[in-house]
């Protein structure tokens, strides 16, 4: 990410303590318009993953749900 996706602040993979097959991926970007929509969504790794996703979903291996949020500036998320 640091080398190929400027504007990506963080990726975190959180594992459920109740279901070992459930994972939450938290992605943080400097801004939605450029860092996420333009840079991230046109990156080679993203495009390779997206091309494989329908088959994984159709096979019942992956279910995706999620939301997009704006940073409130409250909390410790911006600490380095």
Position 79 pLDDT exceeds 70: no
pLDDT bin (cut points 50, 70, 90) of residue 34 is very high
Tokens of 59: 């096979």
Percent of the chain's residues with pLDDT above 70: 95
| CB environment 22-51: b (16+ within 10 A), e (fewer) | eeeeeebbeeeeebbeebbeeeeeeeeeee
The more confidently predicted of residues 9 and 2 is: 9
Q: What is the mean pLDDT of residues 2-29?
A: 91
pLDDT value of residue 78: 62
Position 55 pLDDT exceeds 70: yes
Compute the distance between CA of residue 50 and CA of residue 36 in angstroms, rounded to an integer. 15
Position 10 pLDDT exceeds 60: yes
Tokens of 55: 């088959």
């Amino acid at each position: 990410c640091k080398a190929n996706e400027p504007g990506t602040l963080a990726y975190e993979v959180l594992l459920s303590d109740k279901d070992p097959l459930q994972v939450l991926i938290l992605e943080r970007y400097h801004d939605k318009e450029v860092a996420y929509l333009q840079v991230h969504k046109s990156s080679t790794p993203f495009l390779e993953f997206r091309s494989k996703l329908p088959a994984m979903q159709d096979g019942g291996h992956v279910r995706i749900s999620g939301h997009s949020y704006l940073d409130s500036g409250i909390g410790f998320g911006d600490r380095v």
